[in-house]
């Protein structure tokens, strides 16, 4: 039985979420990638609360980008989520790639967040 790409992604996402959980000391950096945009949230899973978020749909990022669906946009979101996290005193996070492969836009966002000061 061959799985579709969506089924494979869903299985990976469920497997990851079974192992990765955010805490107040080390919240979860969750990534969602659509065809046109990329979103990042820092989440405390114990209180089910989003602490910080950033995405390519925000006016301050959207105006400066040619597209929200490329590596350059992911780098900008990674830098922005790291800056906002550091402002709130969050330095360590757990990375949740959301079932996506660690490649391309996901990798670019993670690398930019690391370079900007987040530890994961």
Task: Assign residue 45 the CATH number of its domain.
Answer: 3.30.420.100
Q: How many domains does the chain have?
A: 1
Mean pLDDT of 101-116: 97
- Please tell me the predicted confidence (pLDDT) of residue 106: 98
Average pLDDT for the chain:
96
Residue at 102 is within a domain: yes
Mean pLDDT of 27-42: 97
Given a cut of 90, is residue 8 above it in pLDDT?
A: yes
- Please tell me the predicted confidence (pLDDT) of residue 48: 94
| Residue environment code for 91-100, b if the CB has 16+ CB neighbours within 10 A, otherwise e | eebbbbbbbb
Residue at 64 is within a domain: yes
Query: What is the domain range of residue 67?
Result: 5-115
Residue at 97 is within a domain: yes
- Lowest-confidence pick of 30-34, 62-66, 91-95, 105-109: 62-66
- Please tell me the predicted confidence (pLDDT) of residue 97: 96
How far apart (Å, rounded) are the C-alpha atoms in residues 9 and 81? Answer: 24
Residue 63 neighbours by CB under 8 Å, 6+ apart? none
Residue at 120 is within a domain: no
Given a cut of 90, is residue 1 above it in pLDDT?
A: no
Percent of the chain with pLDDT over 90: 98
């Amino acid at each position: 039985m061959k799985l579709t790409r969506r089924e494979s992604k869903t299985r990976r996402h469920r497997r990851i979420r079974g192992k990765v959980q955010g805490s107040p000391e080390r919240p979860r950096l969750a990534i969602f990638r659509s065809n046109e945009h990329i979103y990042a949230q820092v989440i405390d899973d114990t209180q089910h609360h989003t602490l910080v978020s950033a995405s390519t749909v925000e006016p301050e990022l959207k105006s400066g980008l040619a597209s929200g669906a490329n590596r350059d946009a992911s780098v900008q979101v990674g830098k922005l989520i790291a800056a906002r996290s550091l402002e709130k005193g969050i330095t360590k996070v757990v990375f949740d790639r959301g079932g996506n492969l660690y490649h391309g836009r996901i990798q670019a966002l993670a690398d930019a967040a690391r370079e900007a000061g987040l530890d994961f």
